[in-house]
Structure 1
Amino acid sequence: MRTSKRSQILEAATRVVQREGVKSVTFDSVAAEAGLTKGGLLYHFATRDDLVLAIHQHLADRWEADLVAAAGKPATEATRDERLAAYTQVAIQSATRAELLLMLEGSTNAAHSAVWEAVTERWAPPPASAGDDPAALDRFIVRLAADGLWLYDSLTSQQLTPETRRAVAERIADALTRDGGSDEEG
């Protein structure tokens, strides 16, 4: 199937974010990356804000698809522990710097943050449930560890060796099964 121009533009914009950050997303930078004219972008996105919101939605949709693939089912059909396992797997294996940068940038814009919060609320354990329940706290710590590895990979110039990264990822994944694989819904 041929990629639509809109998808081509959003993938090009994602590469700009990955390489240079959200502030670097301009019609000129994205047009150059996509091999299109600025007018070609304006046909699909009337303003830079429209383009940036579309990038948020595009990546959040892709992130959700990765989570569904990791769980083997949608969030509505997965147990709490299956959702956490999928979230952890995606965060430690395939989450990108562009996604992180967009989430950070989006945290100051209600429309942008809503796109990401919709996905996280379905898949990641909330901190509110961790206070009085040791198992809930453990699940939340696993989430934080996965997020921390993603953050480290995305923001540091000191890349982990493949062996060290694999060992950290395995340790995080092992924490999911330490409690005997409890899979109660909650």
Structure 2
Amino acid sequence: MRTSKRTQILEAATRVVQREGVKSVTFDSVAAESGLTKGGLLYHFASRDDLVQAIHQHLADQWENDMIAAAGKPASEATPTERLTAYARVAIQSATRAELLFMLEGSTTAQHAAPWDAVMERWTPPPAAATDDPAALDRFIARLAADGLWLYESLTDARLDPELRRAVAERIAGPLAGDDA
């Protein structure tokens, strides 16, 4: 199946961010990266703000699709442990500079944060649940460990050996197996 022009633009914009940061997303830079004209971009995105919001949604959707694939089902059909296990497994593969920069940038604007927050609400244990429930506390600690793995991979050029990454992710979620409260 051919990639849509809109998806082609969003993937090109993500590559620009990966190399040069969020502030480098302009119609000129994305047009050059995508091989399309500025007019072609304007057909899909009326403003830079529209493009940036679409990139947030695109990256959050990719992230959620990875978790659905890892769990073998959507969050609404998965147990808390299955959601956490999928989250930990995805943490070993999705650490990109573009995702990190967009998550950081998104935290400054409610509209930009919304796609990320929606995914987190579906897939990660909320901190409040950890207060009175030891199993929920264990799931929240495992979430923090998965976040740490993802952040480590996002902030360093040194990549962990794939087997080590996989072992760490399984170790994070593994002790919770069978804990599907």
Q: Structure 1: give runs of 5+ residues left out of the alignment.
A: none
- Displacement of 1:156 in angstroms is 2.0
The aligned residue for residue 114 of structure 1 is 114
**Amino acid in the other structure paired with 1:54:** A
Identical residues among aligned pairs (%):
73
| Closer/same/farther in 2, CA of residues 79 and 42 from structure 1, 3 Å limit | same
Question: Does the aligned pair in 1 maintain the 2:142–2:172 contact within 8 Å?
Answer: yes
- Contact 2:95-2:153 at 8 Å conserved across structures: no
Q: How far is the alpha carbon of 1:61 from its aligned partner?
A: 1.1
Aligned residues: 181
Is 1:96 equivalent to 2:93 in the alignment?
A: no
Given the two structures, how large is their TM-score scaled by the length of structure 2? 0.92
Aligned mates of 2:95, 2:156 — CA distance in 1: 15
Task: Judge conservation of contact 2:125–2:143 (CA < 8 Å) in 1.
Answer: yes
Structure-2 change in CA distance of 1:123 and 1:52 (3 Å): same
Query: Which amino acid in 1 is paired with 2:167?
Result: E
Task: Report 1:105-184 matches (<5 A).
Answer: 105-157=105-157, 159-162=158-161, 166-167=163-164, 169-179=166-176, 181-184=178-181
Distance 2:177 2:55 in 1: 40
TM-score, structure 1 normalization = 0.90
**2:92–2:150 contact (8 Å) kept in structure 1:** yes
Where does residue 53 of structure 2 map in the other structure?
Answer: 53
Q: Is the contact between residue 92 and residue 166 of structure 2 (CA under 8 Å) also seen in structure 1?
A: yes
Q: In the alignment, residue 2 of structure 1 is paired with which amino acid? A: R
Structure 2's unaligned 5+ residue stretches are none
**Secondary structure in 1 matching 2:92:** helix
State which drifts further: 90-99 or 121-130.
90-99
Q: 1:62 to 1:172 in 2, by over 3 A?
A: closer
Q: Deviations over 1:34-85 (max 9, x none)?
A: 0111121111111100000000111111111111111000111100100000
- Between the aligned partners of 1:81 and 1:180, the Cα distance in structure 2 is 7
- Give the distance between the partners of 1:145 and 1:125, measured in 2 at CA: 13
Residue 4 in structure 1 maps to residue 4 in structure 2: yes
Aligned-partner Cα distance in 2 for 1:175–1:36 = 43
Q: Indicate the RMSD between aligned Cα atoms, in angstroms.
A: 1.6
State the distance in 1 between where 2:24 and 2:46 align: 18
On the 8 A contact 1:92/1:147 being kept in 2, the answer is no
d(CA) in 2 for partners of 1:139, 1:181: 12
Separation (CA, whole Å) in 1 of partners of 2:29 and 2:177: 51
Instruction: Give, in angstroms, the shift of residue 131 of structure 1.
Output: 2.2
Superposition pairs of residues 52-91 of structure 1, within 5 angstroms = 52-91=52-91
Q: Is the 8 A contact 1:80 1:183 kept in 2?
A: yes
Q: Distance in 1 between matches of 2:81 and 2:45?
A: 39
